[in-house]
Chains A and B, each alone.
Chain A
């Protein structure tokens, strides 16, 4: 064209020149769209249509798109060469061609901007810039040359060259990079595959565009797919367990929508019908620039064994929990050796009134009154040495009241630590029943004693009424006889004698009764008072404990034997001890104390029972030992009378006095056994 000789030649060359221009523009747009992945498709179509239209006009209207008619040729020098430039009537249709170029320009600028924004500023600058300058130049030159504002060869080969060089460099660079990357990638993928495979991890990719899933061999094996089988998403879904299908689909969709990761376990059913647990971690990838989800890649691991053992563990845990919560008593687990509560059941909280926060870490001794500490410490020792213990104990509830328990303790070790665990059964009811029974027994004993004494009294009254009646009648007779003028003195004397006789008889009756009360087939023997007092203390120990009385025994080791009835004497000691406890019952001192002192005094052995209670009222001291005298509401008033009777039958003495320091002391002296008595 630049070498055209005639205007017609030039016009024809120019006309055909537009064909490569069309090709260049269309292919540039294609390049932008495909290589740069930028630009608006619809704009490209418009440009394409307009360009094609203008190509049509190029062949139909005038000599070519630029000129209706080339009138003359001029030769100019351009870069040292003589080139032809045309002069003629410009074609108005050129406007459409320029418009298409303008839109192409817009398309390119838009593409450059989006590439720039994507962060690929280099590509934007190099490729976009060259395209842009080419297009700009083409437009400006076209207009200027055709309208003959500047005289310039229309051919823009130089720009094409520059553009093609730049594009070529750029493309080859990209291709080189891609090759390098793909090499690297394939190596890495190999490593990854190896690692994933050996870890049993399946890697997969879910392409949203094709809705197919690609997976490593391991992934395919995990889900039961053959190595070459295509996996549409639906096929993958068919592997899911029916119960998990819905939520997995929903969760996946949510992840895709929010661009978040999927992390969960679900079940799949393999074609052979076996059920497997999968743990899946997946990531959603977005198409760059516009946040359109593109694909999801993830890894799947078969965790069936782990799940099963976990389920088994869970079941076992549930079983244990059900067992512990279902226990009728309380359960506890204390760490050893620091004895802190770490595990218990709801019943424990319910029965003691403590909340779980208060329970945790509670020390075992916190449940007990200080007086019980030694017993509990001993029980813990037994558990540590012998493995288990069972005992009755009383723990303190939150409200301060005590809860009697039949408790067990078992040594337990789980490899990590050592524990004392056990259960305690609430025995409040049993205790209550025992108490009631004891009360009933006491009542019964009391009734028996009362009826016995009633019978005794009845016999006593009958026996006594004979002589007493006789005395009364005799006395009355005397009275009547004395009213007489001359009473018969001899008869009066007889009567007085009879009265004396009957009085003696009455006395004998009483003596006989006393003897009867004392008798009771008492086998007399040598007695070690220490043993006797020890025994009595053992017998009253439960009472003492119940009433929180401290018992102190002080026995002189060099104690002579005494002689008497063991049972009777023991009754006396028990009676005195119980009396002492009773004395400490109302308004007890801070430390209720009963002291028993046994020591030899001269030819006797002395047993003194002292309490630190309020003492005996001075008015009562004289009556203490009289029968039927009692300061207790439920007392018979016979205890001390009988006691004194027994002691006196043993040729001993029993007396009471108030202590200077408060309280009272009952003292017994018994003669030591004579050497002659066997």
Chain B
């Protein structure tokens, strides 16, 4: 499968600065998309595309912090790097606490900016991979029949086949059959592995 190229989204009301940063990042080898305001970004967020956001903290209308809040509400977790004409400590602390990837001044050295962007993209990639793995697991769990599901619930509680057969009022051999089917469907090799998958799947559901 062809992994999509991460895109750096830049949100700034200052067109000149927007262009300049875009240029610099493009020249540094990044795919870049620019937005003149937070609202414009939220119209076409393209959450599926990996990457990160660079946003000006002070913007007319929605500010950088407002953007961060809106993203959190929608459950999308694109890492955000904040830029500011002048950093002040209270704002930066608040931003970092809410999960901002970084907080830089507009005149920050390019290394700092590049490091921050790379770190954000990596984090995004990692989070995305994790999300996909759990997504797949959930899909496999969905292929289980109702009875298989029942048996699995008992298995993850550490019950023996005999006990499961007694609980479900079915034959012990039938339990064994279901177990094999579950192992195959979920691509697991032991009941311990089954338990781990079950817990991970449960986490996702929540």
> Taking the complex as formed, is B14 at the interface, i.e. its CB lies under 8 A from any CB of chain A?
yes
- A667 → B minimal CB distance (Å): 39
> Taking the complex as formed, is B86 at the interface, i.e. its CB lies under 8 A from any CB of chain A?
yes
Q: Are B27 and A465 in contact (CB under 8 A)?
A: no
Q: Are B24 and A466 in contact (CB under 8 A)?
A: no
Cα separation A469 to B20 with both chains bound (whole Å): 8
Cα separation A501 to B20 with both chains bound (whole Å): 12
> Taking the complex as formed, is B110 at the interface, i.e. its CB lies under 8 A from any CB of chain A?
yes
> Taking the complex as formed, is A212 at the interface, i.e. its CB lies under 8 A from any CB of chain B?
no
Q: Are B106 and A468 in contact (CB under 8 A)?
A: yes
Those of B51-97 within 8 Å (CB) of chain A: 58, 83-86
Cα separation A505 to B84 with both chains bound (whole Å): 18
> Taking the complex as formed, is B19 at the interface, i.e. its CB lies under 8 A from any CB of chain A?
yes
Q: Are A466 and B106 in contact (CB under 8 A)?
A: yes
B contact residues around A97 at 8 Å (CB)? none
Q: Are A470 and B28 in contact (CB under 8 A)?
A: no
CB-CB under 8 A for A458 and B27, given A465-B105, A470-B14, A502-B16: no
Q: Are A465 and B23 in contact (CB under 8 A)?
A: no
A contact residues around B47 at 8 Å (CB)? none
CB-CB under 8 A for A473 and B21, given A461-B86, A462-B86, A468-B107: yes
With CB as the reference atom, state the residue of chain A lying closest to B58.
A462
Cα separation A505 to B14 with both chains bound (whole Å): 12
Q: Are B86 and A473 in contact (CB under 8 A)?
A: no
B contact residues around A125 at 8 Å (CB)? none
B contact residues around A474 at 8 Å (CB)? 19-20, 23-24
Cα separation A464 to B106 with both chains bound (whole Å): 10
> Taking the complex as formed, is A480 at the interface, i.e. its CB lies under 8 A from any CB of chain B?
yes
A contact residues around B106 at 8 Å (CB)? 465-466, 468-470, 472
| Contact string against A for B residues 124-161, beta-carbon threshold 8 Å, 1 for contact and 0 otherwise | 00000000000000000000000000000000000000
Q: Are A480 and B24 in contact (CB under 8 A)?
A: yes
Cα separation A474 to B20 with both chains bound (whole Å): 5
> Taking the complex as formed, is A481 at the interface, i.e. its CB lies under 8 A from any CB of chain B?
yes
> Taking the complex as formed, is A471 at the interface, i.e. its CB lies under 8 A from any CB of chain B?
yes
Q: Is the interface of A mostly helix, strand, loop or mixed?
A: helix
B contact residues around A197 at 8 Å (CB)? none
| Contact string against A for B residues 27-46, beta-carbon threshold 8 Å, 1 for contact and 0 otherwise | 11000000000000000000
Cα separation A276 to B107 with both chains bound (whole Å): 109
A contact residues around B58 at 8 Å (CB)? 462
Q: Are B16 and A480 in contact (CB under 8 A)?
A: no
With CB as the reference atom, state the residue of chain A lying closest to B107.
A469
**Chain A, interface residues (CB within 8 Å), range:** 20 to 34
B contact residues around A502 at 8 Å (CB)? 16, 20
B contact residues around A473 at 8 Å (CB)? 17, 20-21, 23-24, 110
A contact residues around B105 at 8 Å (CB)? 465, 469
| Contact string against A for B residues 108-134, beta-carbon threshold 8 Å, 1 for contact and 0 otherwise | 001000000000000000000000000
With CB as the reference atom, state the residue of chain B lying closest to A463.
B85
With CB as the reference atom, state the residue of chain A lying closest to B83.
A469
* Total B residues in contact with A, Cβ cutoff 8 Å: 20
Cα separation A470 to B85 with both chains bound (whole Å): 11
With CB as the reference atom, state the residue of chain A lying closest to B113.
A473
> Taking the complex as formed, is A552 at the interface, i.e. its CB lies under 8 A from any CB of chain B?
no
Cα separation A501 to B16 with both chains bound (whole Å): 9
Q: Are B16 and A467 in contact (CB under 8 A)?
A: yes
> Taking the complex as formed, is A325 at the interface, i.e. its CB lies under 8 A from any CB of chain B?
no
Cα separation A472 to B112 with both chains bound (whole Å): 13
With CB as the reference atom, state the residue of chain B lying closest to A481.
B27
A contact residues around B21 at 8 Å (CB)? 469-470, 473
A contact residues around B84 at 8 Å (CB)? 462
Q: Are B110 and A465 in contact (CB under 8 A)?
A: no
Cα separation A151 to B83 with both chains bound (whole Å): 178
> Taking the complex as formed, is A476 at the interface, i.e. its CB lies under 8 A from any CB of chain B?
yes
> Taking the complex as formed, is A56 at the interface, i.e. its CB lies under 8 A from any CB of chain B?
no
CB-CB under 8 A for A476 and B19, given A458-B86, A466-B14: no
- A45 → B minimal CB distance (Å): 136
A contact residues around B16 at 8 Å (CB)? 466-467, 470, 498, 501-502, 505
Cα separation A481 to B26 with both chains bound (whole Å): 9
B contact residues around A480 at 8 Å (CB)? 24, 27-28
CB-CB under 8 A for A498 and B86, given A466-B106, A477-B27: no
CB-CB under 8 A for A461 and B110, given A470-B20, A473-B20: no
Which of B23, B28, B84, B105 has the most C-beta atoms of chain A within 10 angstroms of its own C-beta?
B23
With CB as the reference atom, state the residue of chain A lying closest to B108.
A469
Cα separation A468 to B83 with both chains bound (whole Å): 13
19 contacts between A and B (CB under 8 A): A462-B86, A463-B85, A465-B86, A465-B106, A468-B106, A469-B21, A469-B83, A469-B85, A469-B107, A471-B20, A472-B106, A472-B110, A473-B17, A473-B110, A476-B24, A480-B24, A481-B27, A495-B23, A501-B16
Q: Give A residues with C-beta under 8 Å from B.
A: 458, 461-474, 476-477, 480-481, 491, 495, 498, 501-502, 505
Q: Other than A474-B23, A480-B27, A501-B16, give 4 A-B pairs with Cβ distance below 8 A.
A: A462-B85, A469-B85, A477-B20, A502-B20
